[in-house]
Chain A
Amino acid sequence: EPEVTQTPSHQVTQMGQEVILRCVPISNHLYFYWYRQILGQKVEFLVSFYNNEISEKSEIFDDQFSVERPDGSNFTLKIRSTKLEDSAMYFCASSEAGGSGYNEQFFGPGTRLTVL
């Protein structure tokens, strides 16, 4: 069964450093998402992406964050200057063509980001 993959599984970085989290969505999916979960809190939406542009972003997704689909398979989340409060589990998700909200999203296993 196809699945979303994410690398690395755990990333440790120093405050102020840039990090790039990588995701490979399911191959025939066209809609991509990033969510995050701070320890003990809810899973929160960050951004959705379709047709090489951001479709929606939350208030969390400020200028420190960016997303990119650099090739036909990868989808990346970049944090330019990490802060302590960016420490969280970051989940990538994708959904099928059609764009309607009733297509379920398939999630990757997550990248745990620890900012020291």
Chain B
Amino acid sequence: AQSVAQPEDQVNVAEGNPLTVKCTYSVSGNPYLFWYVQYPNRGLQFLLKYITGDNLVKGSYGFEAEFNKSQTSFHLKKPSALVSDSALYFCAVRAGKGSTLGRLYFGRGTQLTVWP
């Protein structure tokens, strides 16, 4: 069965410091991995994805994520956090084989707070 774990409900970081939001996954076959961000009263906004190729993927707003197959992880990172990055972050996975039209499995979300 497919699943995603985000072990931290909250991450707090000072502005200008690097940030990491953790995600591990379990999936049949090769994973397709996604990060979404949700601001208050807004829908989930796509940040980045890993499908294949380079393990380090870059996305919107300076975010990047590193795919680690041996650790089944896909942690979200940013070298220098901004107060405006404060939001709820969701990791999601879809099985790369034997699935139909893209059913996503989500983690519980991690609330990121960047303080000035």
Q: Which residues of B contact A93 (CB under 8 A)?
A: 44
Tell me which residues across on chain B come within 8 A of A91, comparing CB atoms.
43-44
Show the binding face of A for B, using Cβ within 8 Å.
3-4, 6, 31, 33, 35, 41-45, 48, 50, 55-56, 58, 91, 93, 95, 99-110
Residues of A within 8 Å of B102, CB to CB, are 31, 33, 48, 95, 99-101, 103, 105
Chain A residue contacts of B46, Cβ below 8 A: 104-107
Question: A4 and B43: CB pair below 8 A?
Answer: yes
Q: How large is the interface on B (under 10, 10 to 19, 20 to 34, 35 or more residues)?
A: 20 to 34
Assess whether A48 is in contact with B43, with CB atoms less than 8 Å apart.
no
User: Bound state CA distance, A48 and B99, in angstroms?
Assistant: 12
CA distance A51 to B104 in the complex (A): 19
Assuming the contacts A41-B108, A42-B107, asked whether A56 and B43 have C-beta atoms less than 8 A apart, the reply is: no
CA distance A38 to B97 in the complex (A): 29
Q: Within residues 62 to 116 of chain B, which ones have a CB less than 8 A from any CB in chain A?
A: 90, 92, 94-96, 99-109
Within the complex, the shortest CB–CB distance from A50 to chain B, in Å, comes to 6
CB distance from A111 to the nearest CB of B (A): 11
Minimum CB–CB distance for A33 against chain B, Å: 7
**CB within 8 Å for A48 and B103 given contacts A91-B43, A101-B96, A108-B43:** yes
A106–B95 alpha-carbon span in the complex (Å):
18
Closest residue of chain A to B106, judged by CB? A43
